[in-house]
Structure 1
Amino acid sequence: MESKQLLTSEQLFTWGLRVYWEDTDAGGIVFYANYLKFFERARTEWLRALGFEQQRMKQEQDAMFVVGSTSVRYLSPSRLDDCLQITVEPRELGRVSMTLFQQARRGEQLLAEGEIRIGCVSPATLKPVRIPAAIVAALSKSP
């Protein structure tokens, strides 16, 4: 079993987005699966803010992240033109995977939250590989 490092909650990242027509369902609310898209976009921007671009990681380090599991709770609807804040909070860091906690909020109101486990794999084989050392170092730092 992989050993995990618990990370501090001070490493919270927030990314804003607006709800567009394409994000809503026939009832005029955000389609539930789109929260996973919002979470994915926020994770990409979180990595970028840490100094890591996923395409470069794939090309230069022969590594990429894939989602291994998700668990999402939906608490309140969001609608067209709402401005949302999507957070990323790293919780556990292992050699080949990490667990992140994410939330979608409209102002102070919590709309959805979830735990996402991502793994690092080789793009060619899709077999697990170590998370690049620079990412581990960035996440292991105390803010």
Structure 2
Amino acid sequence: MHGEHRYALTATWTGNLGTGTSGYRDYSRDVTLEVSGKPALLASSDKPFRGDPERWNPEDLLVAALSECHLLSYLHACVQAGVVVTSYTDEATGLLREDGKGSAQFEEVVLHPRVTVADASMVEAAEAAHKTAHDWCFIARSVNFPVLHEPTVTVG
């Protein structure tokens, strides 16, 4: 896979409550995210930042992108290593720290993949495939904070 890959989406603010951004509390943080040919995703800011807790926020989406990128890279690494994965679940967590000056940044994301493989002889290679997956994950390679892995591999 060589070359460039471009991605496009439309983010539309839908939170004008009638007076626009006339004041900090005068608008909602509701946003609709759309990619051509895909279902719309309802988003907002996180609840502590006056957002709607029932909608996806940028922090959720970043952790989700890291988790899914690792998952997909991991499955590919396992195929190449001859590991048959029969189940994969990740309970990913992210730590965002506010700086007290109105901003914040992620300090780390920890992935907790629980992988089931078809045979006990595959466990060691399945564990090693997490490093390969991390090295291949485009999203993890693009962030400036650590993306850590605490995997569990079992035989099913």
- TM-score normalised over the length of structure 2: 0.32
Which is greater in Rg?
2
Structure with greater helix percent: 2
Task: Tell which has more relative contact order, 1 or 2 (C-alpha 8 A, sep 6+).
Answer: 1
Structure with greater strand percent: 1
- TM-score normalised over the length of structure 1: 0.33
